[in-house]
Structure 1
Amino acid sequence: MQETVTAAPVVPPAPGAEQYLALDFANSALALPGDRFLDLLGSPAAGTQWLIEHDLAPAGLDAGLQERCAAQLRTLREHIRALLASHLDGHPAPADALSAVNDALTRAPAALLLAWEPTRGLYRAAAHPATQIVEHALATLAASAADLLTGPDRERLTACGSPPCSRYLLRYGRRRWCSVRCGDRARAARAYARRSRTNS
């Protein structure tokens, strides 16, 4: 049974995350050794923090996200992960994932609405500021995923080669790991397998 943890060692962003926010977003669900799991979007507070840290929400987001908005983020993440996986496996893109990403791309309002109050007169404002922030974040993340999956870097996209890690990265040279920790774990597993074969 997989254990969900609320705190884990800080894992540096995977290679390519500085270019494609969608990689960091897809990697916000972390499989950890020992059948543990960390979801950086697992609660409204965690989702709010992730958006703030990635400049997708203002630091003073008063009420924070509601569970419905956090769930929208997690759902889009899973659709983006499905598109990344299908690309790497050479399978057709799942229709529901394409639809979800396209929906997110078109959700961000292009302009503030016109409103009126007796004491203020006409002014422009978001219909619901928190919802507008989330819709803007969803559109930004979907656009980043679309750019990655259709641009020249798509050929460098790979999954971390160190189980149980489930993160995605852009390959630089021969590197197939998302972090030094995963590289060390993969090398240790190979050395252990060699010793086991020698001792057999």
Structure 2
Amino acid sequence: MREISTAALPPAPGAEQYLALDFADSAYVLPGGHFIDLLGTPESTNRWLAERGLAPADAGVQEMCATQLRVLREHIRALFAARVARQPVLPAALSAVNDALSRTPTAALLRWDETNGPYRAALCPPNEILDRALATLAADTADLLTGAEAGFLTTCASVPCNRYLIRHGRRHWCSTRCGDRARAARAYARAKSKVD
């Protein structure tokens, strides 16, 4: 069951630098089993893409496109999970990201304006919006997984949260909310052990 919330959690540490991390965290679990999917409907997917400059606000994302993005998200999450656990990667996840990487050229083309002269722009016809978004997200995933911060990629330490973050320092949680919940659970466990 897909649930949408406009009151999303704040970005996890690292999500502002890595769009792929923000993308992987666009579906998450809250206490009580509440599942939030910011790509759960075509409308919410269009909004998410537009807010990140990956599609125009009026792109008219259809369910087929939203589904393709959700599938790529799960493959990226599988790659992140393999990296965090230092386990072998699933070939299907690697293949999906490489396929998305090769969908569109990433170089801005040389254009010419009769008034202002030459300029570079990555113009995207409407039928290529999804391909460009998938390629951008896949490229950012590759940059994160092969970059200097790859070793700091981790999962939120607060159960049941399933978000990823880039950990720097002692922070092990994706948000203050998760940190407070984890500290409260530890305090409860200590108090309960003293009673038993």
TM-score (norm 1): 0.86
Which residue is equivalent to 1:161? 157
TM-score when normalising by structure 2: 0.88
1:21-100 correspondence runs (5 A)? 21-61=19-59, 64-100=60-96
Task: In structure 2, give the amino acid aligned to 1:95.
Answer: P
Deviation at 1:5, TM superposition (A): 3.0
Q: Distance in 1 between matches of 2:125 and 2:29?
A: 33
1:59 shift after superposition: 2.5
Match of 1:143 in 2: 139
Report the CA distance between 1:4 and its aligned residue. Answer: 4.3
The residue aligned with 1:132 is: 128
Residue type at the aligned position of 2:76: I
> Residue in 1 aligned with 2:102?
106
Partner residue, 2:112 = none
- Give the Cα separation in 1 of the matches to 2:13 and 2:87: 24
Shift of 1:99: 0.3
Counterpart residue type for residue 185 of structure 2 = A
* Structure 1 residues 131-155: Cα deviation after superposition (integer angstroms, max 9, x where no partner): 3011000000000100010111001
1:38 maps to amino acid: I
Aligned mate of 1:170, from 145, 156, 166: 166
CA distance in 2, matches of 1:68, 1:131: 13
Deviation at 1:86, TM superposition (A): 0.6
CA–CA separation in structure 1 for the residues paired with 2:42 and 2:144: 27
Shift of residue 10, structure 1, vs aligned partner: 2.9
Identity, % of aligned positions: 60
The 1-side partners of 2:163 and 2:127 are apart by 28
Residue 177 (structure 2) aligns with: 181
Do the aligned residues in 1 keep the contact of 2:46 with 2:57 (CA within 8 Å)? no
Equivalent residue letter for 2:92: D
Query: 3-state SS of the aligned residue for 2:32?
Result: coil
Q: Is the 8 A contact 1:168 1:178 kept in 2?
A: yes
**Are the structure 2 counterparts of residues 37 and 108 from structure 1 closer, same or farther at C-alpha, using a change threshold of 3 Å?**
same
State the one-letter code of the partner of 1:57. Answer: A
Q: Distance in 2 between matches of 1:174 and 1:29?
A: 25
Q: Distance in 2 between matches of 1:185 and 1:10?
A: 17
* Contact 1:65-1:130 at 8 Å conserved across structures: no
Aligned residues: 182
